[in-house]
Amino acid sequence: MQMQLQVDQQTRRVQAALVKAGPSAIEIALFAAPAHTSTLGQIRDEMVAATEKTGGTVTLVEGPFGTEVRRVIPLNDPKGNRVYHVSRTWFAQGPKWLLRGVVMGEAAQAGGIEGPSELLYEFFSNTVVRRDNEPRVPGDLIPMTLPKSLATSVPGEADEAAAPDGDAQN
């Protein structure tokens, strides 16, 4: 498996992590959520509307983490050819946080958690979230902090490992 971090160039904070496993990948991001209520229904409804607006198709199915959003979105490649972005979106929610995992590649086309989805499922299900106590608006991106064992191998991240942001660790 390989991991690529998506870092805000101004703040140097990790906004998302892309984990690749062969021809499949998962992008995880952490968002603020209400403390005592779930916003997943609203988020899924917004995803459905946005997908249909682009001419794509969306299906809601029971997945390993509850209702999963499966999308096929038509795009044009740089040469103008029609291509399709296929994804599955998993959610895990806790008090004041929402972890989103967007599965792509072969795992997005497979059902269940076997085969190409297995390593991505293991990564997502073993991700630990420790949210800070800073007030945040639901839906705002919460910067992630790498575990100290990983932070020391990423230039400029060793000092960030102890930062009071939300931790999304694996």
Tell whether 131 is covered by a domain: yes
The whole model's pTM is what?
A: 0.84
Per-residue b/e over 49-75, b at no fewer than 16 CB within 10 Å?
Answer: eebeeeebebeeeebebeebbbbbbee
Tell whether 65 is covered by a domain: no
Q: What residue numbers bound the domain in which 19 lies? A: 2-36+87-169
Tell whether 96 is covered by a domain: yes
8 Å CB contact between 107 and 101: no
Structure tokens at 133: 């106590």
**Residue-level pLDDT at 164:** 38
pLDDT in tens, 45-65: 999 999 999 999 999 999 999
Tell whether 100 is covered by a domain: yes
Tell whether 113 is covered by a domain: yes
How many domains does one find in the chain?
Answer: 1
- Report which residue type is found at 9: Q
**Residue-level pLDDT at 162:** 35
**Residue-level pLDDT at 85:** 96
- Report which residue type is found at 104: M
**Residue-level pLDDT at 163:** 38
**Residue-level pLDDT at 158:** 42
Tell whether 76 is covered by a domain: no
Tell whether 158 is covered by a domain: yes
Low-confidence ranges of the chain (pLDDT < 50): 156-164
**Residue-level pLDDT at 145:** 84
Angle at 66 between CA 75 and CA 125, to 5 degrees: 90
Tell whether 46 is covered by a domain: no
**Residue-level pLDDT at 157:** 45
